[in-house]
Chain A
């Protein structure tokens, strides 16, 4: 056993205090990143990758059709009109697909929104690749204006065969206050 002091009581105290400090740090530097990594790797919580997917040329699997459903939800207190232009699409794995979501800010003042995706069934999340998504960034919108927000995605050809329908849900949050802080910091 490593001895840090010749006084055994001091030795015990130093070791235990270090343990406590390490456990405090463990929460921030291990638990939080590990949780994110596990969610990404295993598709837990239906989290899709937050970064744009670089398409690989793999060809389109015309023999297979997957139904994609779009759902939009406003988080509590979010006044925007927000929803998909089409609620359902039939796509082939490997093909690149485009759709748009509509958003309208009915209030007179400018606001900033952030959309958070979730895929169901959760294990399909790892096969749902987005090459472009409005959810990658915060979306500012002036008062009383509308916008069309694009989404481009590819369903992976490796999608397990028993999955025929994937639901992509977006919850839109009002992050105006959070964005203000970021702007002020800049």
Chain B
């Protein structure tokens, strides 16, 4: 055994050829943060345009490209890879494994991702512009009426789908085969559980997305008519296929966030997680139900009443396991010895705001009422409450929670708390008014709006700028910690933290658990 087994290789080749789960996790996290900044910049452009009614800064065609790329990059480039990065870093350490089960494939899963997004972003500079049909890319907007760059978009979806599937197979193979002796399924940390279920969802639905874009490709270039009415196809079929992928996809985004929150709340409430078993079953139930609710995204497409009723009831049913989770988190905090460090603040922010987003989701699930809400800003407000305050807040919590373990340095707590409060206030200023303009009838995906929406939109834009700026503070805090944070070597950064990852040295050595720990 040479010395290279004890530490990373030097220089660029360390990152290019690494098979170390921590290196790959780090690359995923940095990549997703850079995509978060890029997607956020696109959102800032749309909010700047919407600051006042009328066309101010950009033309409608470019506005559509901005909303489309914002959605695609945030979903596929920022949120999903960030949780994959977290899974890479934490799952082997949480289950007592030396690395992921398939380290070379792990390297590939990451390295095909940046080219995919480079291709997607490069469409901005192509003739006809970037994709402009919304992140849901409904046919025929994305086929008959699409800009020529749609072919590059399809290719990038294929590649990032492949990356997700490879990453998921790796996670499942790791969790199923590499757990330390004594680490039974029902002893696994909840983050591992939620990721295991998420990975199964990904393996099941990313191929469906690949199928949908393949059909688009064939319709555009090879004369088929899957989605073209003239040739005997049906554009509505696209919506069914897309949302058969799309609804599980939103749980793919949120389930790992549930896992993170389930790790952090017990640590700062200094109590074990309340209802561990029910958390596992609720996660599985949500994943199962996600396959039978897709058409609630398309109530207004012209479905038979029986269909509307089925999808309405099935959707409402999801509130039950989700409610179980929220009650369990609240009960974990009940009479706990709580302290409010930055990770805990983000988790409580998550809990409050995600619950609001859950309730607006319940409102949207009511088929007859949805005819009013459909494609309005109410929907935009709803999914930003669950995506941003759900996934992004929990991701911020995770970074603050595990950063000291990763780099052996403590972040600046005051700056972290400032980041939280600016985020929390900015987020609500940005998105709460969107409920009101949505209910009042403002449609989504428009660069201009009727005058009565002007005040709320200005408030919304100001909030968005505040939220956006707070992320610069986050970046600064993280970089400052890595470069010059106060060194810490406590194995347990947090007094109440439990789990195998807190039994290894701080900072986490390049190789951990080369001999598996015994779990009792």
Contacts and interface: CB of A to CB of B under 8 A. Distances in A.
Contacts of A45: 234, 236, 302
B155 interface: no
A163 interface: no
Contacts of A173: 229-230
B230 A175 contact: yes
A53 interface: no
B203 A20 contact: yes
B478 interface: no
Given A31-B240, A31-B244, A181-B223, A75 B230 contact: yes
Given A9-B177, A44-B304, A173-B229, A35 B207 contact: no
A178 B231 contact: yes
A20 B165 contact: yes
A116 B101 contact: no
Interface in B177-213: 177, 203-208, 210-212
Interface residues of A, number: 33
Interface in A155-186: 171, 173-175, 178, 181
A2 interface: no
B226 A50 contact: no
A39 B302 CA distance: 12
Interface in A36-80: 39, 42, 44-45, 50, 75
A16 interface: yes
A9 B240 contact: no
B43 interface: no
Contacts of B215: 27-28
A13 B205 CA distance: 17
Given A16-B172, A23-B208, A24-B210, A175 B304 contact: no
Given A16-B203, A31-B240, A50 B232 contact: yes
Contacts of B165: 20
B469 interface: no
B356 interface: no
Task: With a 10 A CB-CB cut-off, give which of B168, B207, B230, B302 has the most chain A CB atoms.
Answer: B230
B97 to A, nearest CB: 11
Nearest to A115: B230
A36 to B, nearest CB: 8
Contact of A24 (B177, B211, B234, B236): B211
Contact of B169 (A13, A28, A116): A13
A23 B204 contact: yes
Nearest to A180: B223
B103 to A, nearest CB: 11
Nearest to A27: B211
B102 A39 contact: no
Interface of B: 101-102, 165, 168-169, 172-173, 176-177, 203-208, 210-212, 215, 223, 225-226, 229-232, 234, 236-237, 240-241, 244, 302-304
